[in-house]
Chain A
Amino acid sequence: MRYFKLFRGNNSEGEMKDYRIEVEKGMVVLDAILRIQAEQENDLAVRWNCKAGKCGSCSVEINGKPKLSCMTRMNEYDNDETISIRPLKTFPVMRDLVTDVSWNFIQNKKIAPFKPDPSQKDKNGNYRMTQEDVDRIQEFRKCIECYLCQNVCHVLRDHDKRNKFIGPRFLICLASLEMHPLDTTDRIPDIKNDFGTGMCNITKCCTDVCPEHIQLTDNGIIPLKERVVDRYYDPLKWIWRKLVGEKILRLFPS
């Protein structure tokens, strides 16, 4: 017998309710939640899909730690430990363990899409990129959009700067576009002005919770910050830009 506390309610009211169920070897927390649902609380709201850590649907806070419930084994906890499961704190609760993450989809839409230069194709119609060229963006593209990073980022979680800061998930999305060898769009002004790279003060909370172990801060966000600084705060470049304009400067990237 194992003990659980699950949040039941909606965005305006709710409570932690107690449950007791049998747990078998090898079970993950999501298995336990689904067993409670099937046997005791048929209408318990929980979001999940692949149950293999690949879709990023089942993010919750387990004993205060944001995690994928499908990849959290029951044996990570002591046998007599009560397991408390709450919905993600940063987003409004729809019901029980399910949150309204639609804000994230709105952010994604603000990002200018990938745009390659077709003249770079070879005579057979293929683009050429070396594996070394794509290694670093492939790291960002491992993202399964579980939004755990968005959930823990204190700019969003504690300061609610949602209208000024796009969040770590979308900063690495931007990084993957900015570092794409074939992309031609300039997103640096948007990154500085609308997406708020400056607000991240690199506490690396996002990196700590990433189930894909993406180095969001070191490999994604810091390089983006550097690109912004290079463009806007390098005094020599600033004078040069005033004299000859933006376009020529872009021909000589640092």
Chain B
Amino acid sequence: MAIDVSEIQTVEHDVIVVGAGGAGLRAAIECSSMGLNTGLVCKSLLGKAHTVMAEGGVAAALANVDHRDHWKVHFRDTMRGGKFLNNWRMAELHAKMSPDRVRELEEWGAVFDRTKNGLINQRNFGGHRYPRLAHVGDRTGLEIIRTLQDHGIHQGIEVYMECTALDLLKDGDRISGMVAVWRESGRFIIFKAKVVILATGGGGKAWQITSNSWEYTGDGYCIAYESGAELMDFEFTQFHPTGMVWPPSVRGTLVTEGVRGEGGILVNKEGKRFMFKYIPEKFSPETADTIEESNRWLAGDKEARRPPELLTRDVVAKAIRDEVRAGRGSEHGGVYLDIASQRSAEDIKRKLPSMYHQFKILAELDITKDPMEVGPTLHYFMGGIRVNADTQMSNVPGLFAAGECAAGVHGANRLGGNSLSDLLVFGQLAGIGAADYINSLGTAPAVDNRQVEQIVKRATDILNRESGENPYLFHETLQENMQDNVGIVRNEEDLVNGIKKLEELKKLYSKVKAVGTSQYNPGWDEALALRSLLITSEAVARAALIREESRGAHTRLDFPNESDEWQNYNVVIKKRLDGTMEVNKVEREKPSDDIYRIAYSTLEELEAEVAKEME
């Protein structure tokens, strides 16, 4: 069947932003504020993106609760949490700019919880030295997305809802637009654009147990990779330590780290508070080693060190896994997270209302009375599209990325709360980067109709096949493979098996068939997303195989320690001309002396330095 490109709806914008979570909305607002004609394309309705699931808060060194906080301490915490693999410049920008991005949200109508002095309140979280997370109970993400949404709709941004990005268009090396499909009508749409900013989040749906929604299929990674962009740090997939484990239908659903921030403790089936056993050497000077000290910390003693439940997510997730494997797990294969014994029912309902509600309804459990059962769940990609730290542009001119979709700021492990600040900081910077790029652009790039035809054909082939594989069952097979072979702990044998299985699935993908028509057909959506999931999964597995060490969220049983050599390298992935995946070990850029010194200072040195600065 011939495709007549002139029949396809075509619209023109300076910038197309893909994804309407925090990063996409913030990027679109910035573009629009600089006078760029901006389109925002999202797979779901506006305001439903995964940002609403962020619960605990947004990390920013506002120093409203502990006056000793400072961007330098936030930066140091972020680097330590990321096992020093973070992009130095991005981690610096992130720590410096977060406070202003949070204040700006207040300017746009966000209503954060308050301190006694009427300032934005901040709570404790894993890996953050001071109470640093500005929050609204345990629904901070909702507050942020609604604020950006309600501000954004008055900024002249054109929003394309329930519209799925299919592939990018290029004029030579440069971006010239994108093709997408309207989910309701099944009709295609061509976006002519000088810039595309990808803010599509991660790809957690490649695993069985995940906190991610159906949308999280790595679409941004896939279309960037296909257009020649480099991907980086894909081996670092964060397993959040506390997902629900019971009942089975909600396995993986997120239980906010805010529960531990508010004093929740982790207990095994013997009733033992086990995290004291798992304190890494690097963190022992800053972590409480007795229940008594932990209790003093919870009571607000500033001299007391933080309880080990608030160690970074990689550490806590592995500890839970080890407890379960040693036979000390809970009834349904997790451990217990207990807030009931630490806080009054009234406090719990006030500080963690949506957790209370979630467990009451989904697990028929009252968290003010009983402990929750929790276990690790695939939550977040530290890796993503490789971008310039200051402009957020990838190696493809005109292609930008921000938020979870981009790599760099979080290194080998992300601290809780740093995601929401990441969205705001780098969403804005991507907008500025896009404007600079457009200003420097000579002739406008042109759309090549042959590229459009290929994209449309690839999508419609899935519908037009006579018969074929069920996309849902294909997806389940893929998820099983990733869960079994590319899970929370990895080894060479499993990874090689996993990759072999992925190669088989890639071949089978050309036989996937979506039944029905093109109109609002989730089977077609699913089949289209499988392509993204396959590339995402392969990138994770291949990056995990090459990195022969354990660092942060990447754990290799056959290489159990951090390697000094690997400290200096990122794993960078790109598509070869023959279509196969090229995986390279690429040396990292060196930081400035001052930034290096801050990251490796002791806490005492840094606190003294900051105190002096603030005098």
Chain A residues in the interface with B (C-beta under 8 A): 24-28, 31, 37-39, 42-57, 71, 73, 94-96, 98, 100-102, 105, 108-109, 113-114, 116, 118, 125-131, 133-134, 137-138, 141-145, 176-177, 180, 183
Chain A proximity mask over B229-261: 1 for CB below 8 Å, otherwise 0: 000000000000000001111100110000000
Interface size on B, residues (CB 8 A): 68
Provide a sorted-by-A list of 21 A–B residue pairs whose CB atoms are within 8 angstroms.
A24-B247, A25-B247, A42-B514, A43-B524, A49-B49, A49-B50, A49-B215, A50-B53, A53-B354, A53-B357, A54-B52, A73-B362, A105-B46, A113-B154, A116-B107, A126-B64, A126-B103, A128-B118, A130-B118, A137-B111, A177-B109
CB–CB A26/B363 < 8 A: yes
What distance in Å separates the Cβ of B19 from its nearest Cβ neighbour in chain A? Answer: 13
Q: Which residue of B lies closest to A72 (CB)?
A: B361
Which residues of the partner chain B approach A51 to less than 8 Å between Cβ atoms? 213, 250, 253
Known: A26-B247, A43-B516, A113-B150. 20 other contacts (CB 8 A): A25-B248, A28-B250, A37-B523, A42-B470, A42-B515, A45-B522, A49-B52, A49-B215, A54-B53, A55-B48, A73-B362, A95-B519, A105-B159, A109-B153, A129-B118, A131-B114, A134-B113, A138-B111, A145-B146, A177-B109
Say yes or no for B448: interface residue by CB 8 A criterion. no
| Minimum CB distance partner of A134 in chain B | B111
Q: Find out whether the CB atom of B111 lies under 8 angstroms from the CB atom of A56.
A: no
Query: With an 8 A cutoff between CB atoms, is B40 at the interface?
Result: no
With most chain A CB atoms within 10 A of its CB, the pick from B141, B184, B470 is B184
> What B residues does A53 contact at CB under 8 A?
354, 357-358, 361
Q: C-beta contact mask, B508-536 vs A, less than 8 Å → 1, else 0? A: 00000011110111111000000000000
Q: How far is the CA of A98 from the CA of B45 in the complex (A)?
A: 12
Q: Are B119 and A114 in contact (CB under 8 A)?
A: no
Chain A residues with Cβ below 8 Å from B184 are: 94-95, 100
Query: Chain B residues near A52 (CB, 8 Å)?
Result: 53, 250, 253-254, 358, 362
Interface core residue of A48, A52, A101 (most chain B CB under 10 Å): A52
* Partner of B362 from A24, A28, A38, A45 at Cβ < 8 Å: A28
Nearest chain A CB to B42 CB, angstrom units:
11
Check A130–B103 contact: CB distance below 8 A: no
Closest chain B residue, CB of each to CB of A74: B249
**Chain B residues with CB under 8 A of A31:** 249
Mark out the residues of chain B between 1 and 38 whose CB falls within 8 Å of any chain A CB in the assembled complex.
none
Q: Is B120 at the interface (CB under 8 A from chain A)?
A: yes
CA distance A133 to B117 in the complex (A): 12
Chain B residues with Cβ below 8 Å from A129 are 111, 114, 118
The answer to whether B103 touches A144, judged by C-beta atoms less than 8 angstroms apart, is no
Interface majority SS on B: helix, strand, loop or mixed?
loop
Q: Which residues of B contact A134 (CB under 8 A)?
A: 111, 113-114
Contact A50 B249 (CB under 8 A): no
Contact with A along B483-514 (1 / 0, CB 8 A): 00000000000000000000000000000001
Q: How far is the CA of A52 from the CA of B141 in the complex (A)?
A: 14
Give complex CA distance A54, B47 in Å. Answer: 11
Given A108-B153, A109-B154: A141 in contact with B45 (beta carbons within 8 A): no
Q: Mark B164-197, 1 if CB is under 8 A from A, else 0.
A: 0000000000000000000010000000000000
In the assembled complex, the CB of B566 is this many whole angstroms from the nearest CB of chain A, namely 36
Question: Is the pair B516, A128 in contact by a Cβ cutoff of 8 Å?
Answer: no
For A144, the chain B residues whose CB sits under 8 A away are 52, 142
Asked if A49 contacts B213 (CB within 8 A), the reply is yes
A-binding residues in B (CB < 8 A): 44-50, 52-53, 64, 103, 106-109, 111, 113-114, 117-121, 136-137, 139, 141-143, 146, 150-151, 153-154, 159, 161, 184, 213-215, 246-250, 253-254, 354, 357-358, 361-364, 470-473, 514-517, 519-524
A24, A47, A95: which contacts B249 (Cβ < 8 A)?
A24
Chain A residue nearest to B151 in the complex (CB): A113
Residues of A within 8 A of B146 (CB): 141, 143, 145
State whether A95 touches B520 (Cβ < 8 A): yes
The smallest C-beta distance from A43 to any residue of chain B, in angstroms, reads 3
B516 touches A71 (CB 8 A): no
A195 to chain B, nearest CB (A): 16
> In the complex, what's the smallest C-beta–C-beta distance from B20 to chain A, in angstroms?
12
Q: What residues of A have a CB within 8 angstroms of the CB of B161 in the complex? A: 102, 105
Q: Looking at B113, B143, B253, B520, which has the most chain A CB atoms within 10 Å of its CB?
A: B520
Nearest 9 CB-CB pairings of A with B? A26-B247, A43-B516, A114-B109, A128-B118, A42-B523, A38-B472, A95-B520, A45-B520, A131-B114
Q: Which residues of A contact B250 (CB under 8 A)?
A: 26, 28, 51-52
| A31 and B357 alpha carbons, distance in the complex (Å) | 19
Closest chain A residue to B353, Cβ basis: A142
Q: How far is the CB of B39 from chain A (nearest CB, A)?
A: 16
User: Is B522 in contact with A44, judged by CB distance below 8 angstroms?
Assistant: yes
Shortest Cβ gap from A159 to chain B (Å): 25
- A131 proximity list for chain B (CB < 8 A): 113-114, 121
Known A113-B151, A126-B119; judge A24-B522 contact (CB<8 A): no
Residues on B with C-beta less than 8 A from A49 are 44, 48-50, 52, 213-215
Q: How far is the CB of A13 from chain B (nearest CB, A)?
A: 14
**How many angstroms from the CA of A39 to the CA of B475 in the assembled complex?**
13
* A43 and B514 form a contact (CB under 8 A): yes
- List the B side residues contacting A125 at CB < 8 Å: 103
User: Taking A43-B516, A51-B253 as contacts, is the C-beta distance between A57 and B522 under 8 angstroms?
Assistant: no
Pick from B137, B249, B363, B514: contact of A27, CB below 8 A. B249
User: A48: which B residues are within 8 A, CB to CB?
Assistant: 213-214
- Taking the closest CB of chain A, its distance from the CB of B497, in whole angstroms, is 26
Q: How many whole Å from A72's CB to the nearest CB in chain B? A: 8
- Inter-subunit contact A101/B45 (CB<8 Å): yes
Q: Are A127 and B106 in contact (CB under 8 A)?
A: yes
* Across-interface contacts of A113 in B (CB, < 8 A): 109, 150-151, 154
Give Cα A100–Cα B184 distance, bound, in whole angstroms.
9
Which of B111, B250, B515 has its CB near the most chain A CB atoms (within 10 A)? B111
Question: In the complex, which of the residues B117, B154, B354 contacts A54, with contact meaning CB atoms closer than 8 Å?
Answer: B354
A134 to B110, CA, bound (A): 11
User: In the complex, which residues of chain A have a beta carbon less than 8 angstroms from the beta carbon of B517?
Assistant: 43
CB distance from A55 to the nearest CB of B (A): 5
On whether the beta carbons of A46 and B247 are closer than 8 Å, the reply is no
Residues of A close to B524: CB separation below 8 A: 43
Q: Is the CB of A114 within 8 A of B519?
A: no
Question: CB-nearest residue of chain A relative to B146?
Answer: A141
Rounded to whole angstroms, the CA-CA distance of A39 and B472 in the bound complex is: 8
Residues of B within 8 A of A145 (CB): 47, 146
A132 to chain B, nearest CB (A): 9
Q: B361–A27 contact, CB under 8 A?
A: no
- Distance (whole angstroms) from the CB of A14 to the closest CB of chain B: 13
Complex-state Cα separation, A138 to B354, whole angstroms: 13
Residues of A within 8 A of B254 (CB): 52
Complex Cα distance A39/B471, Å?
10
B214 and A24: CB pair below 8 A?
no
A42/B472 in contact, CB under 8 A = yes
A50 touches B52 (CB 8 A): yes
Q: Contacts A116-B107, A125-B103, A138-B111 hold; do A57 and B44 have CB atoms under 8 A apart?
A: yes
B523 touches A43 (CB 8 A): yes
- Give every chain B residue within 8 A of A130 (Cβ-Cβ): 114, 118
In the complex, chain B residues whose CB is within 8 Å of the CB of A126: 64, 103, 119-120
